[in-house]
Each structure stands twice: as structure tokens, then as C-alpha cells.
Amino acid sequence: MPEANMFLEKRVHPRVPVKIAVKYRVIEEQKEIESVFERKNRDKTSQTLDISLGGLYIVADQVIAAGSILRLDIEIPNHPSMISAFAEVAWSNESGLGLHFLAMKDTDVDVMKDYLDKAQNQK
């Protein structure tokens, strides 16, 4: 019997190809950062290439170990403030990071869902 070469989609939520600004910082388990200035120096600015309610893919110029936890601030277009989330690095290479959301406020989930529904309907 011939082998089937099939791809099994594991994502629960469909990805929407949108580019929006995101700021991220690796959460380190060592000591807590002592000053706001030091914390701001660790922030990186990037953009998404695609996003879903389950995670996102961002452009990054560094490889971050799978399993690392990131703090994200995501700029949703036409929304007055950034939404925040914690995400785990699912994979990483020289061009970007695949992230899986771990925690986000319910109100931020609603904002993202609204945005993604509108973005998907415009395609």
C-alpha cells in the first residue's frame, strides 16, 4: 500500500496573515529586573506575519530557545491601547518566532477576536 504524505493541521484557530506591531521581552527566571530603565532595554520591537487566537508568528533577529516565555504588548489597529499576553516559544529560527499564547485577559481576547474576524472578512 502506498504511503500517504499528508499534513495534519494541529492549529485550533485559523491564522490570519496581518502585519501589526508587537513589543516582546523574554521573561527570565533569575532575579527580577531592578529598574524600569533596565527593563526597557530588554524590550524588542517587531511585527507579526500572521496571528490567531492561539498564537502568532513574529519577525525576530535572534533565536530564542523553545519553551521560553515572552511578555507581549500587541498593537491592535484602531484600538486605543495595546493588549498584553504571555506566550511560549514553540519554535524559533533566524527569521522569526512561532509563539503559543499562554495567558491573556478576557477583554483582550475579545478585542483580538473582533480584529481577526474583521481582518479575515476583508481578505
Per-domain residue ranges of the chain: 21-122
Judged by DSSP in three states, 76 sits in: coil
Q: Which three three-digit cell numbers place residue 75?
A: 498593537
Question: C-alpha grid cell for residue 11?
Answer: 492549529
Q: Which residues face 70 on adjacent strands?
A: 26, 87
**pLDDT values of the chain reduced to their tens digit, one per residue, 123 residues:** 455 555 444 556 778 888 999 998 888 754 444 444 555 567 888 999 999 999 999 999 889 999 999 999 999 999 999 999 999 999 999 999 999 999 999 999 999 999 999 988 876
Q: Which amino acid is at 73?
A: D
CB 57, CB 96: distance < 8 Å: yes
Regarding pTM above 0.85, the answer is no
Return the CATH class of domain 21-122. mainly beta
Longest Cα–Cα distance in the chain:
64
